[in-house]
Each structure stands twice: as structure tokens, then as C-alpha cells.
């Protein structure tokens, strides 16, 4: 079970309390449960300010956030450098360090994504469906905010902004627990967000952090049913399963990415190599990076020599079955694959490779080992692609496209708060609409039930 406690090191009690106040929490106390419930209560109160806020008000606040992120970039990067130093000293993997790092360019991208969200339609008030009944009652089902959205996540300071921005645009308050690895970054980022909200005339308590309360605070957030309306965990499998198993607050489960690329018998070799390389190596420490490559035996002689040479040249360690390893180039780091490899989300320059004899065998392998996140097929056979789409039970299926497109920004959602691999309420990248629920509004003219 993953630890949810922050690494406070030798920081003094006074510094911890100051950080908590600055970043939107009550002074740290031994009673984390009481403190976190008070933060959630303030978030609930603050969320009412957004219930009647129009789009212009919310968009202006998002614009202020984007401006302040750019203006405070040096301060954010300096805080992030402290997190990066601790991460390297503790032996954090390259993939996790890649998620953790913030540069001026990345902050610029985050600010641009914030402005993109501001430019998206406001989901609140959207009519999902409506009709007038034969008795004259007029019905509308409208999108409305959840209320208070809680987030528990690891080593991803960009998620602090993504979660807050998407929550605000969809009319929600956000209570954030970003973990020890990004503690310095998140403290400064939340301070920037709160200042921008106040400058825009909205309550600062629309964005709060409970990082100062460590693991007890995280447990308290999981149990704040009635104050927190939905909880979204985002991180490793242990963290997600801990939240799913222990939370009394409704949870939207985001999943790890044991992602597959299947190269079918008819695949264009050049296309298949490009997609494979992009899916595996474009950025390795993300949940939509490929972890297993399945290759039809008819495609293997033409495809695998080129693909494995390119992968090995990029430093990818190949975990292959016997038939796949026959094509490994000299000098490649290639080892026999085990069942553990098929089950692993590497988040590193490592890839499972297997030769299969049919589309059915590829689909069976995916059904056995997939985490239900994203799978891709490369093929020129329309029937094969249609079967793959119909029979693969994952949140996203790509046909002749990289798995790296399973992302809220890439799919036109602006930022994303996570990628859901469950089937209730939300599935796949979660944007603005997924942070709303619905309300029935019924208009009558003195109607009474006979």
C-alpha cells in the first residue's frame, strides 16, 4: 500500500503552519481530520459563489491564473528545483522525474492550456435533454456542478493547475492533496492560484491544499462524505487502489496504463514503426505510453527488424517472447519476457514484445493483461480494425494512430483531470463535462398528480 504522507523533512512546526495558511489550509494540528473537514467545509461554502457565476466571471479568473503563472514562473521553477533535488537524491525514476519537472516552457504550456479551457463552452446549464409532456409539464435535464472535487495525486505539479482550472470552469471547488514529491512546487502553485482568484473577486477557498496534514489528512479527505462530492485519485496503482478501497466519498477511478500496440498482418511497415516509436519513446513516464507491442506473425519478418532496431537505438530494453527475440538486432538489450512483463506498466524505456498468429490471439492477450486504458491497432484491413474496436474493452481505442493521443488536450477537452478506466459516470479523459452531474428542472402551471 502506498504511503500518502508528505516528506516534511526537518521543517519546523512554525514553517509547516505558515505553509498551510499560505496555501489555503488551517494551521497544521495534531487533529488532521478536524482540519481537513474544516477545509472541505470552506470549499463547500466557496463553491456556492460559482453556482451563480456566469461564464465571463469564470473565464476572467482563468485568464488571471494564466497571467499569474507566467508572472510567477521564476518562483515556481525555484520551488520545483527543490522537489527535483529531493527526487534525484531519493532515487526517483527518470519517468517520475519527467512528470515532476517544471520549466519556464512547461509553465508556459500550462498557462496556454488554462487559456484554452477558458475558451471552451461552459458546461454548466447545458440542456442534456428536455421535452413537454402530454399533461403540459415542461422538463429539462441540465448540467450542474458536482460541488467540491477532491484530488489525491503524486509527483505531478501540473495536475495542481489542471485540477483547479477544470474544477473552476465547471463550477466546482477543489481540495488538493499533491503528495510529498511535489510539496514545494504545489505550495507555491496553490498560492499563485488563490491570489489570482482573490484578484478576480472570487473566494480563494475555491482552491485549497491539504498537503500539510500528510497521510492522516489524505485519509480524512477520503472520509469527508457530505462535504466532498467526488474524489479522484491519480497516480500509481497502489495509490489508486488505496483510495478506491478506503474512501467513503464517491470515487472516479483513474487507471494505470498497461497500453498495447498491435501491428496487424496488413499493416504498412513505415506507419507501424512510426506509431510504435511515438507510442513508446515520445514520452515514457505517462499513462498513455505503450508498454507491450503485439505483432502478427505475417507482419513480423518485414516489421520487426526495422522496429526493434529503431527501439534499441532509442535505448529501449526489449522483453520479448522467443519468436520476437529472433529479430532483435545485435547489441540490443533484449531479455526473455515473463508473465510479469505482460502485466507491467514500465513508465520507462522498456517494452514487452510478442508475436501472435491471429487477431484473436492479440485480442485475447489484451483482454488478459490490459488495464483498460488505451490500445492501438495498425492495419489496412477495415474488417480487422472494426473487430478490434468492437472487441477490445478499453477506455480508448486507436486505429492507425499513436496511443499518445489519449489525452484531454489532444482530444479537444483542454486540460484533463485524469483518465478514467471505470465505466460509471465517466470513462476516458475527463474534462469539463465529466466534472458535472445533472439536475431535473420541471415547470408546471399548478399541476398536481391525479
CA distances to 223, 240, 341, 415, 434 from 251, in Å: 11, 10, 29, 20, 13
Give pLDDT tens digits for 20-50.
444 454 444 446 899 999 999 999 999 998 9
Is 271 found in the same domain as 224?
Answer: no
To which H or E segment does residue 356 belong? Answer: strand 350-356
Is 118 found in the same domain as 29?
Answer: yes
Gap between the Cα atoms of 4 and 1, Å rounded:
9
Quick one: pLDDT at residue 409?
81
Q: Are 164 and 43 in contact (CB under 8 A)?
A: no
Q: Are 148 and 229 in contact (CB under 8 A)?
A: yes
SS3 110: helix
Gap between the Cα atoms of 435 and 163, Å rounded:
10
Give pLDDT tens digits for 298-355.
999 999 999 999 999 999 999 999 999 999 999 999 999 999 999 999 999 999 999 9
Is 358 found in the same domain as 263?
Answer: yes
C-alpha grid cell, residue 127: 440542456
Quick one: pLDDT at residue 24?
53
Is 179 found in the same domain as 40?
Answer: yes
Neighbours of 103 (CB within 10 A): 12
Q: Are 194 and 24 in contact (CB under 8 A)?
A: yes
Quick one: pLDDT at residue 179?
86
Residue 176 CA from chain centroid, whole number: 14
Identify the CATH number of the domain in which residue 403 sits.
3.40.309.10
In a domain, 446, yes or no: no
In a domain, 291, yes or no: yes
Neighbours of 13 (CB within 10 A): 10
Structural domain boundaries, residue 207? 13-254+430-437
Q: Are 147 and 172 in contact (CB under 8 A)?
A: yes
In a domain, 210, yes or no: yes
Q: Provide the Cα torsion 317, 320, 324, 330; round to 10°.
A: 40
Beta-bridge partner residues of 429: 419
Ramachandran category for residue 232: left, alpha or beta (phi over 0 → left; psi -120 to 50 → alpha): beta
Gap between the Cα atoms of 158 and 162, Å rounded:
6
C-alpha grid cell, residue 79: 520551488
Gap between the Cα atoms of 351 and 180, Å rounded:
29
SS3 230: strand
Is 250 found in the same domain as 279?
Answer: no
Is 303 found in the same domain as 178?
Answer: no
The mean pLDDT values, 10 residues at a time, for the chain of 450 residues are: 35 37 45 91 95 93 98 97 95 87 96 94 96 97 97 91 95 95 96 97 97 92 96 88 94 90 98 98 93 98 98 98 97 96 95 98 98 97 98 97 92 83 90 95 95
- Say which DSSP state 210 is in: -
SS3 267: coil
* Strand stretches in 52-161, DSSP E: 127-132, 138-145, 148-153
Identify the CATH number of the domain in which residue 225 sits.
3.40.605.10
Quick one: pLDDT at residue 8?
33
Cα of first residue to Cα of last residue in the chain, in angstroms, is: 57
Gap between the Cα atoms of 300 and 379, Å rounded:
13
In a domain, 241, yes or no: yes
CA distances to 144, 267, 409 from 435, in Å: 9, 38, 16
Is 273 found in the same domain as 162?
Answer: no
Is 124 found in the same domain as 95?
Answer: yes
In a domain, 41, yes or no: yes
In a domain, 416, yes or no: no
Is 283 found in the same domain as 159?
Answer: no
Q: Are 206 and 128 in contact (CB under 8 A)?
A: no
Q: Are 179 and 90 in contact (CB under 8 A)?
A: no
Is 207 found in the same domain as 117?
Answer: yes
Is 202 found in the same domain as 71?
Answer: yes
Question: What sign does the CA torsion over 169, 175, 177, 182 have?
Answer: positive
Gap between the Cα atoms of 141 and 124, Å rounded:
11
In a domain, 153, yes or no: yes
What is the number of structural domains in the chain? 2
In a domain, 18, yes or no: yes
- Strands 436-443, 138-145: pairing kind: antiparallel
C-alpha grid cell, residue 133: 409532456
Spatial CA neighbour of 279 closest among 393, 398, 430, 386: 398
- In the sheet with 138-145, reading across from the earlier edge strand, the strands are 127-132, 138-145, 436-443
Is 88 found in the same domain as 115?
Answer: yes
Amino acid at each position: 500500500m502506498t504511503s500518502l504522507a508528505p516528506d516534511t523533512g526537518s521543517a519546523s512546526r512554525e514553517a509547516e503552519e505558515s505553509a498551510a495558511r499560505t496555501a489555503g489550509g488551517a494551521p497544521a494540528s495534531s487533529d488532521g481530520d478536524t482540519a481537513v473537514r474544516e477545509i472541505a467545509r470552506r470549499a463547500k461554502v466557496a463553491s456556492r459563489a460559482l453556482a451563480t457565476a456566469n461564464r465571463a466571471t469564470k473565464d476572467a479568473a482563468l485568464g488571471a491564473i494564466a497571467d499569474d503563472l507566467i508572472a510567477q514562473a521564476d518562483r515556481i521553477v525555484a520551488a520545483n528545483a527543490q522537489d527535483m533535488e529531493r527526487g534525484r537524491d531519493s532515487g526517483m525514476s527518470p519517468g517520475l522525474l519527467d512528470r515532476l519537472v517544471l520549466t519556464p516552457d512547461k509553465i508556459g504550456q500550462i498557462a496556454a492550456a488554462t487559456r484554452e479551457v477558458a475558451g471552451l463552452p461552459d458546461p454548466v446549464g447545458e440542456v442534456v435533454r428536455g421535452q413537454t409532456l402530454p399533461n403540459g409539464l415542461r422538463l429539462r435535464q441540465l448540467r450542474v456542478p458536482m460541488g467540491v472535487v477532491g484530488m489525491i495525486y503524486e509527483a505531478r505539479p501540473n495536475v495542481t493547475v489542471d485540477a483547479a482550472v477544470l474544477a473552476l470552469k465547471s463550477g466546482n471547488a477543489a481540495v488538493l492533496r499533491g503528495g510529498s514529491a511535489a510539496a514545494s512546487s504545489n505550495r507555491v502553485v496553490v498560492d499563485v492560484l488563490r491570489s489570482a482568484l482573490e484578484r478576480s473577486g472570487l473566494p480563494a477557498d475555491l482552491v485549497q491544499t491539504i498537503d500539510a496534514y500528510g497521510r492522516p489528512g489524505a485519509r480524512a479527505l477520503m472520509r469527508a462524505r457530505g462535504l466532498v462530492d467526488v474524489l479522484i485519485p491519480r497516480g500509481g496503482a497502489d495509490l489508486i487502489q488505496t483510495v478506491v478501497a478506503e474512501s467513503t466519498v464517491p470515487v472516479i477511478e483513474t487507471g494505470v496504463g498497461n497500453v498495447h500496440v498491435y501491428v496487424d498482418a496488413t499493416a504498412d511497415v513505415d506507419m507501424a514503426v512510426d506509431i510504435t516509436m511515438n507510442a513508446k519513446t515520445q514520452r515514457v513516464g505517462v499513462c498513455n505510453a505503450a508498454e507491450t507491442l503485439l505483432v502478427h506473425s505475417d507482419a513480423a519478418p518485414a516489421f520487426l527488424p526495422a522496429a526493434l532496431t529503431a527501439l534499441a537505438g532509442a535505448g529501449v530494453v526489449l522483453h520479448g517472447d522467443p519468436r520476437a527475440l529472433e529479430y532483435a538486432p545485435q547489441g540490443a538489450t533484449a531479455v526473455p519476457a515473463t508473465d510479469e512483463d505482460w502485466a507491467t506498466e514500465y513508465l520507462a524505456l522498456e517494452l514487452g514484445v510478442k508475436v501472435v498468429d491471429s487477431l484473436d490471439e492479440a485480442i485475447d492477450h489484451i483482454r488478459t493483461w490490459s488495464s483498460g486504458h488505451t490500445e492501438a491497432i495498425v492495419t489496412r484491413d477495415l474488417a480487422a480494425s472494426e473487430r478490434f474496436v468492437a472487441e477490445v474493452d478499453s477506455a480508448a481505442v486507436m486505429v492507425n494512430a499513436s496511443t499518445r493521443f489519449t489525452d484531454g488536450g489532444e482530444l479537444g477537452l483542454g486540460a484533463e483531470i485524469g483518465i478514467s478506466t471505470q465505466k460509471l459516470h465517466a470513462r476516458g479523459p475527463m474534462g469539463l463535462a465529466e466534472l458535472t452531474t445533472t439536475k431535473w428542472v420541471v415547470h408546471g402551471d399548478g399541476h398536481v398528480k391525479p
